[in-house]
Chains A and B, each alone.
Chain A
Amino acid sequence: MAHTESPALVRALFTDDDVVLSAVKTLRDKGHSISEVYSPFPIHGLDKAMGLKETRLAIASFIYGLIGLTVAILITWYMMNSNWAMDIGGKPSMSWGKNMPSFVPTMFELTVFFAAHLMVWTYFIVNKLYPGAEAQNPDPRTTDDHFMIEMPAGKGVIPALKAAGAIEIIEA
């Protein structure tokens, strides 16, 4: 099973977010590929510099919201108008359309409920975040004040990283 081994990686540590951002840009301009950047906080423009695609979580959330709205319409119709229509205070619930104004709060709340919760669940799943998961960052300093670029080892990688401002290089 020799072929399943991942290629050797080089990890370089930096101490400044602006240096990391420009390092990613120069390394990519030189034709190197960057596998990952670990940082203690979001760096603006890093996703574009690394060539990451835009996230579609907002679109997902919109669809989840529509599902929530549909659920609200269905349960209010089924419970109030179809399954057991009641005469409440002399105001019988005969049709969903006539009853609808008083269902608006429920429709709104369920839309938000579904959009928010399902989006967060999706976010956890795609990021592989769950209670008790092993830390994804190889170096504990990257949640404090260090930044790490991870890239496949190759010719000229280490000098290029040093020139870009890396303070420490680990070959893994």
Chain B
Amino acid sequence: MHYESDIREPLIGGNKSYHDITLDVVRPIETAAPKAWWVVFSIALVMFLWGLGCIVYTISEGIGVWGLNKTVGWAWDITNFVWWVGIGHAGTLISAVLLLFRQRWRMAINRSAEAMTIFSVIQAGLFPLIHMGRIWNGYWVFPFPNQFGPLWVNFNSPLLWDVFAISTYLTVSSVFWYVGLIPDFAMVRDRAINPVQKHIYKILSFGWGGKAKHWQRFEEVSLVLAGLATPLVLSVHTIVSMDFATSVIPGWHTTIFPPYFVAGAIFSGFAMVQTLLLITRKVFSLEDYIRVQHIEMMNIVIMLTGSIVGVAYITELFIAWYSGVEYEQYAFLNRATGPYWWAYWSMMTCNVVSPQLMWSKKLRTNLVFTFVLSIIVNIGMWFERFVIIVTSLHRDYLPSSWSMFSPTFVDIGIFIGTIGFFFVLFLLYARSFPVIAQAELKTILKTSGEEQKKHQD
């Protein structure tokens, strides 16, 4: 009954029993935080507080404190928004798409990847809110009964589609994550000795007891949520790209945007998963669960999506030339050779050239190389959004209004703040949540455990 081909690498290393998996997953929760955790947490907290200060300053003074001008009305804010939403794509892709394709290597990484998704979508959501200037009117983006006319939201606008897409994505990803967490919280609850801890995990675990009927429903709910989340993941960045693609700005008005943005999002999301998991597996000694094979698989996804992004860049250039529209041609010529050439070529190097190195098996199984590359990819993807947004805007139809954008300390501070906030959330998660979906992982121990595989006939 339990059999898996010998060619397949074991997904769980060492000679583990069910109880060993429990112990390995629960260790970070039950033991005191290592010093390194406190150091990183303090740095992240300071960054977050600095960003919070910059946000308060922006709200009290108005967005005039940013580097925006009348030509470049969208810059770092929207760049950061798209960058964070993009990063938030890998988690649900791993847990939903890989579930539908029955890729069992997802089980060791889906929990953290989904946590990362939720935390990065929270960062993304901050930017449109702050950009409103009057953040206390933020709820106006939702259609609610009112006496302003009544004045309804405009369902023809891609910005409103974005409201619906991001809210649906954030909430559905969160419940998907939580449904999977409940059995693992129950495991922590049943082991807890400290009464305060026991009480907290009792609340979090919703009374889960692992009844046969509940597991049957659990699997059905996971499957249906995966089926719903798969088109949802693809829709979110498609709609984000429509914020640009439905406009009339040369460089934005491009039909290739939806697939190109989705590929870019998966590309950057997987890179961020690599960055976080390489640290997590080291700090919490999870090398037996998050194995080199997992890292290699993710590197292959990065290589593939990086290549799709590369093809998209080149297609854009070709179509700009082939269209014969001089405004379109100028927009792309200006990107590559204008005053922002350095941003364009950083993007090209980081996103198109560097992932091609992953063709070498030696490099894609090298952890230090993977870590460095994952950061390069995320820098590249930030530049991609900056290039698309700022270089298309700063030289518009009227040369008299051409201008340049440079960020103020507030722009930079808010960006740094979101990085800090993201890491604060992730570090708190890593210390208090089961970072591996242990219940799911136990189902594959007999087929994919290293020691168990040796005894299969």
B206: chain A residues at CB < 8 Å are: 124, 129-131, 133
Min Cβ gap B76→A in Å is: 26
Assess whether A171 is interfacial by the CB under 8 Å rule.
no
B221: chain A residues at CB < 8 Å are: 57, 119-120, 123
Assess whether B42 is interfacial by the CB under 8 Å rule.
no
Min Cβ gap B213→A in Å is: 6
Assess whether B356 is interfacial by the CB under 8 Å rule.
no
A132 with B443, Cβ < 8 A, contacts A46-B215, A57-B217, A117-B171 known: no
Which has the most chain B C-beta neighbours within 10 Å: A37, A86, A126, A143? A143
Assess whether B1 is interfacial by the CB under 8 Å rule.
yes
Contact A37 B212 (CB under 8 A): yes
Min Cβ gap B440→A in Å is: 7
Contact B155 A102 (CB under 8 A): yes
Taken together as a complex, chains A and B put the C-alpha atoms of A145 and B443 apart, in Å, by 11
Contact B439 A40 (CB under 8 A): yes
Contact B212 A52 (CB under 8 A): yes
The number of chain B residues touching the other chain, given as a range, is: 35 or more
Taken together as a complex, chains A and B put the C-alpha atoms of A47 and B168 apart, in Å, by 32
Q: Could you tell me the dominant secondary structure of chain B's interface residues?
A: helix
Assess whether A169 is interfacial by the CB under 8 Å rule.
no
Partner of B224, one of A52, A58, A105: A58
Partner of A144, one of B168, B190, B212: B190
- Closest B residue to A24 by beta carbon equals B212
Assess whether B4 is interfacial by the CB under 8 Å rule.
no
Question: Which residues from 153 to 171 on chain B have a C-beta closer than 8 Å to any C-beta of chain A?
Answer: 153-156, 158, 160-161, 164-165, 167-168, 171
Partner of A75, one of B17, B18, B143, B205: B143
A93: chain B residues at CB < 8 Å are: 156
Interface stretch (choices B228-236, B333-341, B347-355, B420-428): B228-236
Assess whether B189 is interfacial by the CB under 8 Å rule.
yes
B440: chain A residues at CB < 8 Å are: 41
Min Cβ gap B306→A in Å is: 27
- Closest A residue to B246 by beta carbon equals A102
- Closest B residue to A38 by beta carbon equals B210
Min Cβ gap B162→A in Å is: 9
Taken together as a complex, chains A and B put the C-alpha atoms of A84 and B168 apart, in Å, by 26
Assess whether B22 is interfacial by the CB under 8 Å rule.
yes
Contact with B along A100-112 (1 / 0, CB 8 A): 0011011011101
Binding site for A on B (CB under 8 A): 1-2, 17-19, 22, 143, 149-156, 158, 160-161, 164-165, 167-168, 171-172, 175-176, 179, 182-183, 186-187, 189-191, 202-221, 223-225, 228-229, 231-232, 235, 239, 242, 439-440, 442-443, 446
28 A-B Cβ contacts within 8 A?
A36-B211, A38-B209, A40-B187, A46-B215, A47-B215, A47-B216, A54-B216, A57-B220, A61-B224, A106-B160, A106-B161, A106-B164, A109-B165, A109-B168, A113-B171, A116-B228, A120-B179, A123-B217, A123-B218, A132-B202, A133-B206, A134-B202, A135-B189, A136-B210, A140-B190, A140-B191, A144-B190, A145-B22
Binding site for B on A (CB under 8 A): 17-18, 36-44, 46-47, 50, 52, 54-55, 57-58, 61, 75-76, 79-80, 83-84, 86, 88, 91, 93, 99, 102-103, 105-106, 108-110, 112-113, 115-117, 119-120, 123-124, 126-137, 140-145
